[in-house]
A and B are shown apart, each in its own frame.
Chain A
Amino acid sequence: GNSVTQMEGPVTLSEEAFLTINCTYTATGYPSLFWYVQYPGEGLQLLLKATKADDKGSNKGFEATYRKETTSFHLEKGSVQVSDSAVYFCALSESAGGTSYGKLTFGQGTILTVHP
């Protein structure tokens, strides 16, 4: 079956540091890949996504590139802010064809804390 593995957390950084959160996946076919973010006490929000190999998703300074050869979708940001402190989830959705119904498989989440 499908699975998503994220780097172990928590991750603690100083403001303006470079961020990488690793994500690798196992899936059949050609899944879509997502990063969701969860701020304290809230639901998940879509951060970015990529639907095919070599696509780069980007939003709010975050980027991730869909690497089919390494089955990876690592999240990066060049300069983090205190306001980026949250839990980050990598997820995949099975191919749009067939009867996948868009179900998501999530990684376990990575807690990011950014200090001033």
Chain B
Amino acid sequence: DAGITQSPRHKVTETGTPVTLRCHQTENHRYMYWYRQDPGHGLRLIHYSYGVKDTDKGEVSDGYSVSRSKTEDFLLTLESATSSQTSVYFCAISGSSGEAKTQYFGPGTRLLVL
């Protein structure tokens, strides 16, 4: 299994509070991604990174920001959480050459915004 951890694994927070989710990898992979999983929508890309300090928006980036100051860590921040951001969040990683374009997923973080 790819070495990907996410923290916290579960979080309950209140509307309007900031929340930061962490993804940590031990594979030294270049690409990292944040997705959210909601019933009926599959997984949707929030933000992704193609290198240290190199990030870009995905399909559902509104209300989220990311940072990547080192290869192994990719942080997702909800600046002011809303109930619509209640979801399961998955981090994924991918290498930098053809065969390694396969993405490997972390165990997920279940977030409840009250």
Q: Complex formed: what's the CA distance from A93 to B101 in Å?
A: 9
A58-66, A73-81, A104-112: which lies at the interface: A104-112
Majority secondary structure of chain A interface residues (helix, strand, loop or mixed): strand
B36-44, B66-74, B76-84: which lies at the interface: B36-44
Q: Complex formed: what's the CA distance from A4 to B98 in Å?
A: 22
Q: Complex formed: what's the CA distance from A9 to B108 in Å?
A: 23
B3: Cβ under 8 A from any A Cβ: no
By the criterion CB–CB under 8 Å, are B106 and A104 in contact?
no
Which B residues fall within an 8 A CB radius of A?
31, 33, 35, 40-45, 48, 50, 56, 58, 90, 92, 94, 98, 101-108
By the criterion CB–CB under 8 Å, are B45 and A104 in contact?
yes
Question: Least Cβ distance of B12 to chain A in Å?
Answer: 18
A32-B101, A93-B101, A101-B50 known; A44+B33 contact, CB < 8 A: no
Which A residues fall within an 8 A CB radius of B?
4, 32, 34, 36, 42-46, 49, 89, 91, 93, 96, 101-109
A42-B107, A44-B90 known; A109+B33 contact, CB < 8 A: no
Residue of B nearest to A104 (CB): B103
